[in-house]
Amino acid sequence: MSHLSAPYLTLGIGALILGALLVLRAQNGRPLAIAAASAALLCFLLSAREVGAAGHERLFDPLLSWFDADALDAVPMAFFGMLTVLVLILAPKRDAGGKALAGMLLLSAATQTTYGAANLGVLAAGWWLTSLPFVLGMFGPDRSRVLTQGFLIASSLALSAAIFLLHHVEIDELSHVGKFAFSLVILAVVLRKGVFPLHGWVVAAFEHGPLLPMALLFNGHLGALLIARSEAAALPQTAQHALDLLSIAALVTALITSLRGFAERKPRRLLALLCVSQASFILAGIATANAEGITGGLVHWLVVTAASTGLVCIVRVLEVRVSGIADPADHLGLAAKAPRLATFFLVCGLALIGLPGTLGYCAEDLLFHGALENHPWLGLALPVATAFNAINLIRLFSILFLGVLPKHVIDIPDALPRERWPLAACVVFLVIGGIFPASVIGWRAQAGHKIESAFGISPSH
């Protein structure tokens, strides 16, 4: 069997770290940052190819034991590599300073380290390092910085304590995890994902923090990765009960945040609640015990990543061009001046909430069936939350793009070529994936079935 996965991952993560160091010294760092992220993306794509050639088994080379890839993490790693490149290209000039670009590259490297970790020690190190750019203040002034740091560090401490209690760093040792240690794992996920009632820090970070780095942090979905890794290790029965409760909490989060959105008019806060609600579907799906729900959660992971990135980048582009976006007194009517941005926004938003004909519809269909099989009553929360999120999306679109153009907005540029092609890539993936979903579902179905087979095993201590 081929063992080329680990060297590719090492080179990819190394390219991101080296790029971050070089960008700090460069006068015009964006081309260098994009080149480093593109080189890393190539490495992650080659790693995914090796995983596909090797089959469903996890690759491992004793000489390179820090990183590895399998059917669960290979696709998200390549996808997150693409996300990093898109964000670096789309970033407005005021967000593309040397420190900010270096911070985004470091955040991407830390996330990829967590994805590709071959043991729990490396996974915890990557988890910790995702907070480093925020602790160092690399993204400029941020009124939510202390809150964001606090939750990220608390989540990292909970995960580190759980690993310490295990006495081993092998991922397979999760099959012998104790009740208290697994409770700390769940706590790390709840803090990181912003599960109700702790979702407020995510909303505050979206509102007051750096929006594009928050898109990278949010779309890492490391909490979902940790749960999927835990399930694949064949958890004991007590831990499976805890996952059942986590699935219920994720469903409740999806419903409550969708309801909370009705009280918001600020675009950033409304967008944050919409993204948190839809991202909760991922956790709800992965925490089910059936392949249909798990596969739906894994596919929805890709949908949320692509769609929410498009929405966040468009909101940030509009903020740079038009004053008064943060708290509009009335509808802004920006579709008259920026019809392309309005179209990109609407397509990404409709895919996020599962419009038929998009990949989001296929993902949510799998999710609904999986949730209904596990929790028939709570499973109804998903379609209800989706309906509420659809209303919130149309409200957000109306605030930004419909109505009469304000008098102070004389002329603004529509999507620039630098912005047009990355946004078009997100839209094409969401639409083509919905028309031909078999390939995308096939990418994730193998991991879904593997997790389901392990989930039913209750090893004796």
Q: List, for residues 37-74, the tens digit of each pLDDT value.
A: 999 999 898 888 777 655 544 434 444 467 777 778 88
Per-residue pLDDT band at 5 (split at 50, 70, 90): low
Does position 10 have pLDDT exceeding 60, yes or no?
A: yes
Per-residue pLDDT band at 295 (split at 50, 70, 90): confident
Cα–Cα distance measured from residue 180 to residue 164, given in angstroms and rounded to the nearest whole number: 12
Per-residue pLDDT band at 379 (split at 50, 70, 90): low
Same domain, 101 and 224: no
Per-residue pLDDT band at 392 (split at 50, 70, 90): very high
Same domain, 114 and 214: no
Residues 261-266, mean pLDDT to the nearest whole number: 90
Same domain, 112 and 218: no
443 in any annotated domain:
yes
461 in any annotated domain:
no
Same domain, 295 and 421: yes
| Domain final position from 119, 134, 150 | 119
25 in any annotated domain:
yes
Same domain, 99 and 221: no
Contact call for residues 263 and 293 (beta carbons, < 8 A): no
For residues 184 and 460, the model is more confident at: 184
Q: Which residue segment(s) compose the domain that 41 sits in? A: 1-119
**Token digits of residue 288:** 């089910």
pLDDT number for residue 58: 45
Per-residue pLDDT band at 2 (split at 50, 70, 90): very low
| Domain final position from 69, 93, 119 | 119
Does position 386 have pLDDT exceeding 60, yes or no?
A: yes
Within 13 Å of residue 149, how many CA atoms lie on the same side as its CB?
13
| Domain final position from 119, 150, 182 | 119
Q: What is the DSSP string of 83-95?
A: HHHHHHHH--GGG
| 3-state SS, residue 106 | helix
Same domain, 360 and 223: yes
317 in any annotated domain:
yes
111 in any annotated domain:
yes
Cα 239–Cα 201–Cα 349 angle in degrees, nearest 5: 90
Same domain, 360 and 246: yes
Question: Mean pLDDT of all residues in the chain?
Answer: 84
**Token digits of residue 351:** 């895919």
Cα–Cα distance measured from residue 313 to residue 415, given in angstroms and rounded to the nearest whole number: 11
**pTM of the predicted protein model:** 0.89
Same domain, 242 and 370: yes
Same domain, 225 and 76: no
What CATH number corresponds to the domain at position 105?
Answer: 1.20.120
312 in any annotated domain:
yes
Domains contained in the chain, number = 2
Cα–Cα distance measured from residue 230 to residue 235, given in angstroms and rounded to the nearest whole number: 7
pLDDT number for residue 461: 37
Same domain, 247 and 395: yes
